[in-house]
Structures are given as structure tokens and as C-alpha cells.
């Protein structure tokens, strides 16, 4: 059996590949939807010896099927946001503690001790619905920060502006996590010069504003907040892990998550580093669902494993999917 301890203590590529192949075989045996997909592709499980030979389940399956590898009861169901009448993705989670361990360890890998920060969240479109995995994560980070000042803001921009200025002037480290359109709304109301605050956008105009390319967006946000870089979070309803960008739109994965970039013309082959293609995600924390997901995002990967998100194949609504070039 694969333990979560093994997953979260991966420290090199050899370990990652070994556990990924174990997870693949486990999910082939225990996930009916994934097994049928692999059989449809005529995958010979015994011949799969590398991560590039593993079939990646198209993300759309989460809209039409129950994608689970565990017989345990479902503890919570995360759903994607969508306009009225849209079919949303459903991620059935049988062990919420794995998600919590994943984002807690992922956060500390990139940012250090959560208690060093006040966490402010401006996520109106997510707060106004049920089933958001992003809200579950941010709410938990707010609690873990152990700071009375941490909290959610809905449409009370004036209170948030006052709080940001007060904390920044007091020399307090702050992370403001915001959905893109709301961060733009905020800087239209006030121009900041922040010195101790990290601005982290989670992507998404949610139909509130026209889409714009990342460079243009980040330039506007840098100027409006008075910061040198905009951080980003790349995650989605169907995953249990996130990649983070500390600026310039270059994302880095935690040690149990990696991406591959597939050929847009031939989904079963891969493009070389630096070339644009479809993003396939390996998320080993997603052991009770599916760890091998073909997203509808376009991106490119670099030699060190970092990657950029450049757009998406269509307008499917993917949580945290950053900055779509239309």
C-alpha cells in the first residue's frame, strides 16, 4: 500500500517516478473510470515503465463520472464554479486530511511558517457558493496563521484598504490572496505602496472583466499595489495540490506534483522543453481519485521542471487557471 508519508517526503526524481508508477497501478486496479479509460487506449499496464507512458484522464471526466479510487465514504465534494446551467466538475474526496496535508506542506515549502503572516482573502465569487476547494484551503490557512487580523473580505473594499495600509505600515508580513477581477477592483479604488505585502492572484475574471494577457495584468497589479512582483497559485477543483509562482508567471510544483506538456495534435505524445502544448498534471496527493489528469490549459515547461500557463483550449471554467489569452 502507498502511504501518504511516502508521497509527501519525496525528495528526488527517482523517488517521484517510483511512487508515480505505484500510484498508477493502484488507480488502474481501484478506479473503474480510469481503468476503463486505460483499457480503451489498450494500455498494457505491465509495460508502463515511465511516467510518460501513463495515460492521463481528460479533465472533462470529472463532469460526467465519479472519479474515485477508494471504497471509503465520500467526506466532501468539491465543485468547480460555473455559470447557471453549466455542467460543473465534481471531485469526490474520501480523505480530506490528505488535501489539508498537501496544501499545508505546499505552502510551507514556498513561504515558510504560516504563523509569520496575516492572511487576507478577497475571493467574493468563491465565497458566494458552496463546494470551493480554494475556500476550504484559504479558510484553513487563515485559522493556522493564528493572527486575529487574518480573514475574508467580501465586498467591503474600504475596510480591506484600511487594513492593508495599517498592517503594512506596522511592518507586518501579509499575504493578500485574491481573485483577479477583485484585485483590479481594489486598485481602482486605492493606489497602494506596499512594502511588506505579497499579492497572490488565483486567476479568474469570472466573466466580470475582459480577459487580458498575464504581462498586462501583472503590470497593472504591480503598479496598483506598489509591489515588484505578483505571486500566483495554480490549482483546480480536480486536484489536491497547487503550484505557486513567486513572480513572472513561472510556476513551481511541490515535490509530489509535476507537469508534462503534451502535443496538442497528438494527446499521447509530448513536446520538448520550451515548446507550447497541453498541460498534463501528475498530482500524487490525489491518490484516492486520479493522479494523472490531462487539463485544458496550454503551457510550456522548462528544463528545471518549472512551467508557464499560456492559455486554455476553450472556455471551460477551471479554478485558479491563470490568465487566459483569448
CATH number at 281 reads: 2.30.38.10
**Is 323 contained in some domain?**
no
Cβ distance 102 to 240 under 8 Å? yes
CATH number of the domain residue 127 falls in: 3.40.50
3-state SS class at 159: helix
Q: Which domain holds residue 58?
A: 4-93+255-312
Q: What is the pLDDT of residue 280?
A: 98
> Are 136 and 165 in a shared domain?
yes
Q: Is residue 250 part of a domain?
A: no
Tens digit of each residue's pLDDT (9 = 90 or more) over 51-74 = 999 999 999 999 999 999 999 999
Q: 269 and 226, same structural domain?
A: no
291: Cβ–Cβ under 8 A, 6 or more apart, which residues? 20, 23, 24, 27, 282, 283, 284, 285
205 & 271 share domain: no
CA–CA separation, 45 and 319 (whole Å): 32
Asked whether residue 247 is assigned to any structural domain, the reply reads no
Cβ-count burial 103-125 (b if 16+ within 10 Å, e if not): bbbbbeeebeebeebbbbbbbbb
- The residue among 203, 234, 265 that closes a domain is 234
Query: Are 53 and 84 in a shared domain?
Result: yes
- According to DSSP H, which parts of the chain are helical? 4-8, 13-30, 32-40, 61-64, 96-111, 124-127, 133-145, 157-169, 180-189, 214-225
Residue 239 in domain: no
Report if residue 119 sits inside a domain: yes
Indicate the number of domains in the chain.
2
Q: For residues 71 and 30, give the distance between their C-alpha atoms in angstroms, rounded to a whole number.
A: 8
Residue 62 lies inside a defined structural domain of this protein:
yes
Task: Using the 3D structure, point to which of 205, 234, 263 is the last residue of a domain.
Answer: 234
Domain shared by 51 and 157, yes or no: no
- 319 within domain boundaries: no
Q: Do residues 195 and 75 both lie within one domain?
A: no
Q: CA nearest 178: which of 212, 152, 207, 210?
A: 152
Same domain membership, residue 298 and residue 207: no
Question: The whole model's pTM is what?
Answer: 0.92
Co-location of 228 and 115 in the same domain: yes
Q: What pLDDT digit, counting tens, does each position of 261-307 carry?
A: 999 889 899 999 999 999 999 999 999 999 999 999 999 999 999 99
Does the residue 43 lie in any domain? yes
Q: Are residues 209 and 296 in the same domain?
A: no
CA 19 vs. chain centroid, Å, equals 21
> Do 229 and 123 have their domain in common?
yes
C-alpha cell at 20: 508515480
Which of 201, 234, 267 finishes a domain? 234
Question: Per-residue confidence of the chain (326 residues) as pLDDT tens digits?
Answer: 799 999 999 999 999 999 999 999 999 999 999 999 999 999 999 999 999 999 999 999 999 999 999 999 999 999 987 666 678 999 999 999 999 999 999 999 999 999 999 999 999 878 778 899 999 999 999 999 999 999 999 889 999 999 999 999 999 999 999 999 999 999 999 999 999 999 999 976 656 677 778 889 999 999 999 999 999 999 999 999 999 999 999 999 999 999 999 998 898 999 999 999 999 999 999 999 999 999 999 999 999 999 999 988 764 444 434 433 32
Per the CB < 8 A criterion, the answer to whether 312 and 298 are in contact is yes
Same domain, yes or no: 78 and 172: no
Shared domain check, 291 and 306: yes
Amino acid at each position: 500500500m502507498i502511504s501518504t508519508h511516502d508521497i509527501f517526503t519525496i525528495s528526488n526524481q527517482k523517488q517521484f517516478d517510483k511512487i508515480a508508477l505505484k500510484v498508477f497501478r493502484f488507480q488502474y486496479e481501484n478506479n473503474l473510470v480510469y481503468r476503463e479509460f486505460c483499457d480503451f487506449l489498450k494500455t498494457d499496464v505491465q509495460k508502463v515503465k515511465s511516467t510518460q507512458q501513463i495515460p492521463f484522464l481528460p479533465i472533462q471526466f470529472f463532469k460526467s463520472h465519479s472519479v474515485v479510487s477508494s471504497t471509503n465514504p465520500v467526506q466532501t465534494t468539491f465543485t468547480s464554479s460555473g455559470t447557471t446551467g453549466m455542467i460543473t466538475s465534481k471531485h469526490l474526496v474520501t480523505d480530506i486530511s490528505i488535501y489539508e496535508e498537501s496544501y499545508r506542506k505546499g505552502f510551507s515549502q514556498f513561504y515558510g511558517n504560516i504563523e509569520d503572516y496575516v492572511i487576507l482573502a478577497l475571493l467574493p465569487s468563491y465565497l458566494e457558493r458552496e463546494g470551493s476547494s480554494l475556500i476550504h484551503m484559504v479558510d484553513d490557512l487563515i485559522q493556522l496563521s493564528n493572527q486575529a487580523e487574518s480573514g475574508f473580505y467580501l465586498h467591503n473594499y474600504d475596510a480591506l484598504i484600511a487594513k492593508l495600509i495599517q498592517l503594512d505600515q506596522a511592518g507586518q508580513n501579509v499575504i493578500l490572496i485574491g481573485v483577479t477581477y477583485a484585485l483590479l477592483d481594489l486598485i481602482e479604488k486605492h493606489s497602494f505602496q506596499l512594502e511588506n505585502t505579497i499579492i497572490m492572484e488565483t486567476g479568474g475574471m469570472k466573466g466580470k472583466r475582459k480577459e487580458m494577457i498575464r504581462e498586462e495584468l501583472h503590470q497593472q497589479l504591480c503598479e496598483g499595489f506598489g509591489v515588484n512582483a505578483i505571486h500566483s497559485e495554480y490549482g483546480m477543483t480536480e486536484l489536491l495540490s497547487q503550484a505557486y509562482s513567486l513572480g513572472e508567471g513561472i510556476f513551481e510544483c511541490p515535490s509530489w506534483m509535476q507537469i508534462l506538456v503534451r502535443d496538442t495534435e497528438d494527446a499521447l505524445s509530448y513536446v520538448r522543453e520550451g515548446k507550447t502544448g497541453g498541460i498534463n498534471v501528475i498530482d500524487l496527493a490525489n491518490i484516492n481519485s486520479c493522479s494523472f489528469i490531462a487539463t485544458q490549459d496550454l503551457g510550456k515547461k522548462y528544463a528545471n521542471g518549472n512551467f508557464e500557463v499560456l492559455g486554455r483550449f476553450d472556455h471551460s471554467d477551471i479554478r485558479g487557471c491563470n490568465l487566459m489569452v483569448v
